Amino acid sequence: MMKPFKIRDIEINPPLILSPMAGVTDISFRRLLKRRGGIGLTVSEFISVEGLTRNNPKSKRQMRFFEEERPFAVQIFGGQPERMRMAAEMAEEVGADILDINCGCPAPKVVKHGGGSGLLRDYERLETILKEIKKSIKIPLTIKIRAGYYDHTINAVETARLAEGCGVEHIALHGRTKEQGYKGLANWDLVRRIKETVSVPVSGSGDVVSVEGAFEKWRETGCDGILIGRGAMANPWIFRQIEDALAARPIFQPNHEDRRAVLLEYFEMLREDMPEMAAIGKMKQLAGQFTKRLQGGALFRTTIYHSHSVTEILDRISEYFEAITTGRPYYGENGPKEAEEEAPVLDSCEAATVAS
Ligand SMILES: Cc1cc2nc3c(=O)[nH]c(=O)nc-3n(C[C@H](O)[C@H](O)[C@H](O)COP(=O)(O)O)c2cc1C
């Protein structure tokens, strides 16, 4: 049965993790979601060790977090052991509770330098990196891996064993290969097999979008924790809902007002944290996600996408919620003729890396 677990002495309670997503899980998004409840661990976006160790301001900003997020893990990526070690020390210095290594990102730019999922096919490098870091930090070292590099070289169980041997204290698996990218489904049977193989806690990632889905994965794999990424973009209350189910409470059901409030709160946080145009850009990326399964959600996404100022965004949000709350049909900003068109949604760390 699902219960809190520990990464060394850090309690992950409830055993639910907001999955790291480059370009999405920044300090504002994490705080927004943490406030909805049910999150036992937050993780930064993956942060470049090349950037960190060269004092790149963007990378340094990505290490910031709020006290209310704790426990908080910094995730770093790179392929060069010395820089990985230096970056790990920097994360410890800024007060992160956990240091996580990205062994899953499929972006060519990351893999080319031996980092991300590249580490899954270079055990010598992976081992050197883990041992180097382990020697120099006191906070727990964790790892997030994929099923394997190619579809025909699935080695998650071996990678997990190697990591445990190097002193890694938690293993998270996203059960897709690097070759697979985000296609198909995640293989959760590998989570079960890793759990059977190692004695450190094991968590699974991939395709959990509902309370039932989370419970099913727990039952099937016996994993300790569950990570939710894209499912939390569409439903920021998913962690809280799973927590409700765990406590045998009625499951919280957000209404239109809750959704509107989340959008506005998010926009306000973004505007406090970054220049206006950047905040508008982020809003375009996420506003549609928050309204994904609602009536007129796709059209709302389009109208937000075509907005160019703070006022426009705020007006569009008011109009949309005004319409769906009163049950009127929603036609977007131009009236009934506008076609439903899909605005682009970023859907991989590759897209996020290219964009940044
Ligand atoms: C936009 C996006 C960015 C991502 N960035 C990262 C990242 O920086 N680090 C990481 O370990 N995984 C990253 N992932 C993978 C997710 O953490 C997660 O493992 C994967 O999306 C499957 O889980 P989900 O179906 O719950 O989203 C990213 C995924 C998406 C969609």
Question: Which amino acid appears at position 38 of this protein?
Answer: G
Q: Residue 105's pLDDT is what?
A: 96
Nearest CA to ligand 1 atom 15: 21
Q: Residue 334's pLDDT is what?
A: 66
Q: Is the pTM of this model over 0.85?
A: yes
Q: How far is the CA of 21 from the centre of ligand 1 (A)?
A: 5
Share of the chain above pLDDT 90, in %: 86
- In this structure, are residues 19 and 232 in contact, taking their beta carbons and an 8 Å threshold? yes
d(CA 43, CA 69): 9
Nearest CA to ligand 1 atom 28: 21
230-246 core/surface letters (b: 16 or more CB in 10 A; e: else): bbbbbbbbbbbbbbbbb
Q: How many Cα atoms are found within 13 Å in the side-chain-facing hemisphere of 35?
A: 13
Strand partners, 5: 12
Q: How far is the CA of 58 from the centre of ligand 1 (A)?
A: 20
Q: Residue 337's pLDDT is what?
A: 53
* Range from 112-126, 181-195, 219-233, 337-351 carrying the lowest mean pLDDT: 337-351
Q: In this model, does residue 179 exceed pLDDT 90?
A: yes
Is 105 designated active site? yes
Q: In this model, does residue 36 exceed pLDDT 90?
A: yes
Question: Does the C-beta of 115 come closer than 6 Å to ligand 1?
Answer: no
Q: Residue 342's pLDDT is what?
A: 45
Question: Does the C-beta of 217 come closer than 6 Å to ligand 1?
Answer: no
Q: Residue 347's pLDDT is what?
A: 40
Question: Looking at per-residue confidence, does 326 or 267 come out higher?
Answer: 267
- In this structure, are residues 352 and 29 in contact, taking their beta carbons and an 8 Å threshold? no
Among the listed residues 102, 91, 21, the one whose alpha carbon sits nearest the alpha carbon of residue 53? 91
Q: How far is the CA of 323 from the centre of ligand 1 (A)?
A: 33
Q: Give the CA radius of gyration of the chain.
A: 20
CA-to-CA dists, residue 65 to 27, 137, 229, angstroms: 6, 19, 18
Angle between helices 123-136 and 156-165 (to 10 degrees): 30
Q: Residue 349's pLDDT is what?
A: 47
Q: How far is the CA of 271 from the centre of ligand 1 (A)?
A: 24
Question: Does the C-beta of 130 come closer than 6 Å to ligand 1?
Answer: no
Among the listed residues 54, 55, 59, the one whose alpha carbon sits nearest the alpha carbon of residue 75? 59
Question: Does the C-beta of 206 come closer than 6 Å to ligand 1?
Answer: yes
At 119 the three-state DSSP class reads helix
Q: Residue 335's pLDDT is what?
A: 64
Question: Does the C-beta of 349 come closer than 6 Å to ligand 1?
Answer: yes
Tokens of 203: 């968590």
* Range from 108-117, 150-159, 305-314, 322-331 carrying the lowest mean pLDDT: 322-331
Q: What band does 336 get if pLDDT is binned at 50, 70 and 90?
A: low
CATH 3.20.20.70 in the chain: give the residue spans: 5-246
Give alpha helix (H) positions in the chain. 27-36, 49-53, 57-61, 81-93, 108-111, 123-136, 156-165, 189-197, 211-221, 230-234, 238-246, 256-273, 276-290, 297-305, 310-326, 349-355
Strands 10-12 and 5-7: antiparallel
d(CA 288, CA 193): 37
Q: Which CATH number fits domain 5-246: 3.40.30.10, 3.30.70.980, 2.40.10.10, 3.20.20.70?
A: 3.20.20.70
Q: In this model, does residue 191 exceed pLDDT 90?
A: yes
Q: In this model, does residue 225 exceed pLDDT 50?
A: yes
Q: How far is the CA of 42 from the centre of ligand 1 (A)?
A: 13
Q: Residue 327's pLDDT is what?
A: 81
Among the listed residues 167, 164, 170, 133, the one whose alpha carbon sits nearest the alpha carbon of residue 11? 170
Question: Which amino acid appears at position 329 of this protein?
Answer: P
Residue to probe by mutation, ligand 1, list 16, 18, 21, most atoms within 8 Å of CB: 21
* DSSP per residue, 62-99: TT---GGG-SEEEEEE-S-HHHHHHHHHHHHHTT-SEE
Residues 227-264 have pLDDT tens digits of 999 999 999 999 999 999 999 999 999 999 999 999 99
Q: In this model, does residue 355 exceed pLDDT 90?
A: no
CA-to-CA dists, residue 43 to 3, 37, 50, angstroms: 20, 15, 19
Question: Does the C-beta of 119 come closer than 6 Å to ligand 1?
Answer: no
Question: Does the C-beta of 15 come closer than 6 Å to ligand 1?
Answer: no
Q: How far is the CA of 18 from the centre of ligand 1 (A)?
A: 10
At 330 the three-state DSSP class reads coil
Q: How far is the CA of 335 from the centre of ligand 1 (A)?
A: 37
d(CA 91, CA 78): 14
Residue to probe by mutation, ligand 1, list 349, 350, 356, most atoms within 8 Å of CB: 349
Q: In this model, does residue 343 exceed pLDDT 60?
A: no
Question: Does the C-beta of 45 come closer than 6 Å to ligand 1?
Answer: yes
Question: Does the C-beta of 102 come closer than 6 Å to ligand 1?
Answer: yes
d(CA 156, CA 149): 9
- Which of these is catalytic: 105, 166, 223, 349? 105
